[in-house]
Amino acid sequence: MMTQAPETPPQLVDSHCHLDFPDFDGQQAELVARARAAGVTRMVTICTRLRLEPQVRAIADAHEGVFYAAGTHPMQAAEEPLATVEELVALSAHPKFVGIGETGLDYHYTADSAALQAESLAIHIEAARRTGLPLIIHSRDADEDMAAILTREHAAGPFSCVMHCYTSGLQLARTALDLGFYLSMSGIAAFPRSTEIREIFAAAPCDRVLVETDAPFLAPPPHRGKRNEPAYVAHTAKVGAELYGKTLAEFAALTSANFDRLFPKAAA
């Protein structure tokens, strides 16, 4: 009796994870292998403190299909030296450096550093303009300020951008989409109570959507509450496929094409 070969999973991209975080110490090779087995052939690991860029770059250099981006996370804006445009532009020369950030505004925990966050964001935006690389935005509880800054800055000189782990409101989503930006769907979109977030994604053009894990955070069901990892982006993609009335293979191909368009240095 012949046994049927297991079906090859569709190829996906985890557009945002943090493989340098302590949760993954010494386990990167296993994480990448598990991701590949789940069909996740490419991933972008994000540096959130520029002084750690060499470690993040080393992870990308060590693994095929792993790319990286670097910036100062808004929650660390008051703890880290202010980045310079020149510093970010210089980093972009590396062949696996594919994006600027993450940067942005976070008023949930760190509203007291709002002015400094905005200054840091402006520096990252200028670096995105000069390099032509996409800006990676983190925005939490700062919808009005974020919409105003992105609109004003884009009018002053265009740049490409992804709103990573999108969980903000409908109006900021509309502003971002009107500017030509992308929205990235994380495991939060798969949580049972995330109806409003799913509705925002369902109303967005399907050629402007990415998927991500934000690993080690925000694991989607059935792993919710556990450490997240790039392989689990497949669970979020299943939810995305249902939202758009597509098969998982169709949605995987769609989001991979979207990723290639936004992140040309990491294109398949």
CB 15 within 8 A of CB 263: yes
Contacts of 199 (CB under 8 A, 6+ apart): none
Q: CA nearest 68: which of 83, 85, 52?
A: 52
192-216: per-residue pLDDT in tens? 999 999 999 999 999 999 999 999 9
CB 193 within 8 A of CB 209: no
The answer on pLDDT for 20 being more than 70 is: yes
CB 49 within 8 A of CB 73: yes
Task: Give the whole-angstrom CA distance, residue 268 versus residue 251.
Answer: 16
Please report the pLDDT score of residue 205 as a whole number. Answer: 97
The answer on pLDDT for 1 being more than 70 is: no
Task: Give the whole-angstrom CA distance, residue 67 versus residue 57.
Answer: 8
User: Interior CA angle at 169 toward 240 and 11, to 5°?
Assistant: 20
Task: Give the whole-angstrom CA distance, residue 190 versus residue 89.
Answer: 36
The answer on pLDDT for 157 being more than 70 is: yes
Q: CA nearest 160: which of 20, 79, 260, 81?
A: 260
Task: Give the whole-angstrom CA distance, residue 263 versus residue 135.
Answer: 10
Would strands 40-47 and 66-70 be described as parallel, antiparallel, or unpaired? parallel
* Mean pLDDT value of segment 25-35: 95
CATH for 12-266 is: 3.20.20.140
Task: Give the whole-angstrom CA distance, residue 244 versus residue 55.
Answer: 38
Please report the pLDDT score of residue 4 as a whole number. Answer: 54
95-106: per-residue pLDDT in tens? 999 999 999 999
Element (H, E) at 178: helix 170-178
* Mean pLDDT value of segment 117-121: 98
48-84: per-residue pLDDT in tens? 999 999 999 999 999 999 999 999 999 999 999 999 9
DSSP 225: T
Residues at the annotated binding site? Answer: 16, 18, 102, 138, 164, 214
pTM to 2 decimal places: 0.95
Please report the pLDDT score of residue 171 as a whole number. Answer: 98
pLDDT grade, residue 7 (50/70/90)? confident
Tell me the percentage of the chain whose pLDDT exceeds 90: 96
DSSP characters over 87-133: HHHHHTTSTTEEEEEEEEEETTT-GGGHHHHHHHHHHHHHHHHHH-P
Mean pLDDT score of the chain: 96
CA distances from 6 to 31, 38, 67, 183, 235 (A): 21, 12, 28, 33, 18
Q: Is the peptide bond before 222 cis (omega within 30 degrees of 0)?
A: yes
Residues at the annotated binding site for a divalent metal cation? Answer: 16, 18, 102, 138, 164, 214
Please report the pLDDT score of residue 6 as a whole number. Answer: 60
